[in-house]
Amino acid sequence: MSPEFILGIAIAGTLTGAVYGLMALGLSAIFGVMRVVNFAHGEMMVGGMYIAYLLYKTMGLDPIMMLPVAALGLFVVGYLLQRYLVNYFIEVPEHVQFLLLLAVAMVFTNAFLMIFGPDARGVQLPYAFDSYNVGPLVIDKVRLIAAVIAVLIAALLGLFFAKTRTGKAIRACADNLTGAQVVGLDVKHLYAVTFGLGAACVGAGGALMLLLVDVHPHLTTDYTLLGFIIVIIGGLGSLPGALLGGVLIGLSEAFAGFFLAASMKSMFAFGLLILVLLFRPNGLLGRGA
């Protein structure tokens, strides 16, 4: 096996993993701040895919250019969902939250089925078949663009939490809720902003994912499951952890598929999950309990 093939596999795995990471980022941010596990995560991602698809289909707009629209659309959905529904369930036991968000997920999936039907729908872009030749390596142009944007969005989200007043206030809520309430922070609004931001990341991830995968309503559960695997490996609540988890899953799938059997890709992702749960239950970059 030539080294360029192995390097090519590593690059393909890393690029796919970066998009996975972006998808999981929102899930991690929401859990990190509110301790709410968003079971409607995959559904939101598919929502982002459908927004990008509709804009492409009706106006011929490139999903990459429409990424801010998908993110904004999902921000509004996330904000309203948190403000007017999830917020009433913040204090209830976790299993009640799970059931609530599972119900939301089912509503979303069935709404997609009713509106769009079961067909797979994709976009046909002029550069969909393009690739870059770098020496002996062939790098997929779409995957490269998607990965670069995913990393940029992750960096922007990190900057938002680190540098802006709202971001710092959200972190304050996550670190010490009582303290945040005492100093007069509008916790309900900040929680809704966080949920909105998480959903916006997922929406952006969806618009990017549409470049790689055709959208249909039954993708939802696959992406929810994948999102959970990634954030558990990276560490629930850790933004860099989500990216790392995504890249690790992308790499493990790529190498398992290449060196062992392609049909064993998922098995390796789950194997990695079991190992992390055994030896680092809080995830690779998660904080200790």
Q: Which residues bind other proteins (CB under 8 A)?
A: 1, 5, 8-9, 12-13, 16, 113, 117-120, 122, 124, 128-131, 133, 138, 140-143, 212-214, 216-219, 222, 253-254, 257-258, 261-263, 265-266
Nearer to other proteins, 91 or 119 (CB): 119
CB of 135 to other proteins, least distance (A): 14
CB of 123 to other proteins, least distance (A): 10
Nearer to other proteins, 8 or 283 (CB): 8
Nearer to other proteins, 167 or 206 (CB): 206
**Which ranges constitute the DSSP H helices of the chain?**
3-34, 41-59, 67-84, 94-116, 141-163, 165-175, 177-182, 187-212, 219-234, 239-259, 265-279
CB of 256 to other proteins, least distance (A): 9
Q: What is the DSSP string of 184-235?
A: T--HHHHHHHHHHHHHHHHHHHHHHHHHHS-B-TTHHHHHHHHHHHHHHHH-
Which positions ≥6 away from 261 have C-beta within 8 Å? none
Radius of gyration (Cα) for the chain, nearest Å? 19
CB of 289 to other proteins, least distance (A): 34
Nearest C-alpha neighbor of 21 from the set 195, 209, 150, 156: 150
Which positions ≥6 away from 143 have C-beta within 8 Å? 12, 15, 16, 19, 212
CA atoms within 13 A on the CB side of 234: 34
Nearer to other proteins, 90 or 267 (CB): 267
Nearer to other proteins, 140 or 285 (CB): 140
Nearer to other proteins, 17 or 283 (CB): 17
The Cα 18–Cα 70 span in angstroms is 19
CB of 237 to other proteins, least distance (A): 27
CB of 257 to other proteins, least distance (A): 4
